[in-house]
Amino acid sequence: MNFGKRYISLQNVIIIFVVTVVIAALSATGFLLANATAHNIESHQSEKAMGIAQTVSEVPLIKETLEGKAQNKDAQNFTKKIRQDTDILFIVVMDMDGNRKTHPNAELVGKPFVGGDEIPALKGNKYTSIAEGTLGLSLRAFHPVYDDEGEQIGAVSVGISLKNVKEAVRRSQYVIYAGMGVGILMGVMGAVYLARRINRVLFGLEPYRIANLLEERNAMLESVREGIIAVNPKHTIVVANAEAVRIFQKAGLPSDPVGKKVDEYLPVSRLIRILQSDKPEYDQESDINGLPILVNRVPVKVNGQIVGAISTFRDKSEIKALAEQLTGVRTYADALRAQTHEFMNVLHVITGMVHLKEYDGLEKYLRKQTKLYQSETGSVSKIVKDPVIAGFLLSKGSYARENQVKLTLSSNFPLPVAADPNTAHHMITILGNLIDNAFDAVKVNAEKHVAVSINYDGATCTIKVKDNGKGIHERIRSNIFQKAESTKGPNKGFGLFNVQQSVRMLGGTINFESDEATGTLFIVKFPYIEEGE
């Protein structure tokens, strides 16, 4: 709640609102109940007085007194006893002239009834009224008296002190008001408890702060380059950012995932498994209707309890495009580094020969270097036509010369440029990791030989990488393509895993032969469609 620039805390708002509602409700209820109780008490007292009046009017002694057959004294004693037993103010028996035959004050017997409300009773009516007589203000009940022949011979008036009636009402209302007070007190305590509990549930955050956090959260969700979806314990998708919707649309899914069951909308999400297992999964590869993605899945916990699960994912083709750019930069840098090192050696030779004035030898040396460069460039161009792959192979040639490795490149037919640009990326991943592994395998040999062949028959590309190292250790041969499986130490073993993934994406196969005496041979085959087909 905001008054100007001042905020009333949510806790105080809840307390004020709940207390106000409780007080208003209990006050209205108490007022209506008090009025109803007062009316009920008055009705009860009226019925009590009328019942006594009717009973007295039917007593033979009263009838005989009005007929002159019995003395007033006997009727006076009779009414006195009833009055004491029933705790009423008076019982007055009067004749048809309104003269009293009985009265609590014996001196008033024989005198006219006071109040003026007795006339209807002497005309045969029974009723109640409130009037003031010799004993004060009272609630009165009147009932006619008839003889055995049905002729009216008088009337009976029974009075209850109005003060006593009001006292009974007051006592009843006191109970009601006391109950109201207890109810209000409990309402206040409940309001305070509710407000504090809600405050704890909201981590003490005020509504305006929650609104700010929600806006910030939405801004962050929409600004990240990864798709994000979240599910609740009922497996319902509750959050999906714009990037997630874009990827879903790209995969041919509807653009409104929020509110749907995750196992129906996205069966490959595995988020239900995360909710059940409570174990996160990182950097997992998956696909949505054939669209490859890289996924992270984690459970969401609050106070140690799982309240949902979140999946973040990204289009793997976009990651591969970025990786391809990075790979190209790295390859270019490696090539420049190797070529720079070679060029510096050539410059040192040229400088020395100039210093010695060996001009004839310098001319022969330069011709040899030019011929070597043209030979390498020409040999690579005869193997592949794709400039990215060609540049990559040239860089590996420079690296091989720098490390005294004899690298042999061969092919049966120049490999044309692929129709799919991603094919070059996968080939670089395959060639790069296999050649680097071959270089590592021969680095301790006296004679280091690595042979690479790229053959193409018009439909299938076959890549072979052979080294003369000591072979692959038998312990890891069965698991060689698993992630982090390596004999090189920690944080290694991702190369062949990436090779297998690229081969799988190309729809190909990979096999290897390894022997301690002859080294290791990797053979990769995959369908290849050239550009323009």
Positions of the chain with pLDDT under 70: 1-7, 221, 318-343, 365, 369-379, 483-494, 533
Q: Name which of 506, 392, 393, 420 is nearest 460 in CA terms.
A: 506
pLDDT of residue 492: 46
- Whether the model clears a pTM of 0.85, i.e. scores above it, the answer is no
E-state strands within 194-346: 227-231, 237-240, 281-288, 291-302, 305-315
pLDDT of residue 397: 81
The number of residues making up the chain comes to 533
Give CA–CA dist 457/526, Å, rounded.
11
Q: Which two tokens stand for residue 340?
A: 């720079």
Q: Angle at the Cα of 141 (from 136 to 145), degrees rounded to 5?
A: 125
pLDDT of residue 467: 94
57 by Cβ neighbours in 10 Å (0-12 / 13-18 / 19+) ranks as: buried
Q: How far is CA 225 from CA 2, 243, 419, in A?
A: 37, 7, 28
> Is 30 in contact with 177 (CB distance < 8 Å)?
yes
Residue ranges of domains in the chain, CATH in brackets: 1-223 (3.30.450.20), 225-315 (3.30.450.20), 358-527 (3.30.565.10)
Give CA–CA dist 177/190, Å, rounded.
19
* Number of other CB atoms surrounding residue 70 within 10 Å: 17
pLDDT of residue 182: 85
pLDDT of residue 154: 92
Contact partners, residue 10, CB within 8 Å, separation at least 6: 195, 198, 199, 202, 206, 207
> Is 138 in contact with 132 (CB distance < 8 Å)?
yes
Rounded to the nearest 5 percent, the helix, strand and coil shares of the chain are: 50, 25, 25
Give CA–CA dist 21/32, Å, rounded.
17
pLDDT of residue 322: 63
> Is 434 in contact with 499 (CB distance < 8 Å)?
yes
> Is 2 in contact with 13 (CB distance < 8 Å)?
no
Half-sphere exposure (Cβ direction) of 14: Cα atoms closer than 13 Å? 16
